Amino acid sequence: MRLKDGVSLNGIKPEVVVALIVCNDIFKNYGQDMVVTSVMDGTHGSKSLHRYGYAVDIRTRNFQYQSDIDLVVKDMKEYLTEDYDIIKESDHIHLEYDIKG
């Protein structure tokens, strides 16, 4: 796993760290190095969990095929619990820990 220049893991919650460990292995299975592009930095929506350390963005531009990104997202959803939201955005995967109920 790598961090985009300027991105810090300071303030990230343990539940997200665990998810990143799992996701890093998934990315490796697809021959990709996982790059975290945002944690608590950057501009996010008013309801975003980034500001609390419960969300991260992961780069997808290194994948040649959109279908591979879809498979990564599918695997992430399979290996993480339902308390994680995994959303494929146009240029990244948004991952957040959001307890349901």
Tell me the pTM: 0.92
Tokens matching residue 83: 């308390």
Residue 101 CA, chain-centre distance (Å), reads 22
Q: Which of 83, 73, 69 is nearest to 16 (CA)?
A: 83
The CA-based angle 89-5-43, given to 5 degrees, is: 45
The residue type found at 63 is F
Return the pLDDT at 101: 59
Domain range summary for the chain, segments of one domain joined by +:
2-97
User: Do residues 29 and 74 make contact, with C-beta atoms less than 8 angstroms apart?
Assistant: no
Residue 25 CA from chain centroid, whole number: 12
- Give me the residues of the chain with pLDDT under 70, please: 43, 101
Total residue count of the chain as it appears in this document: 101
In CATH terms, is domain 2-97 a member of 3.30.1380.10? yes
Residue of 59, 89, 62, 94 lying closest to 76 (CA atoms): 94
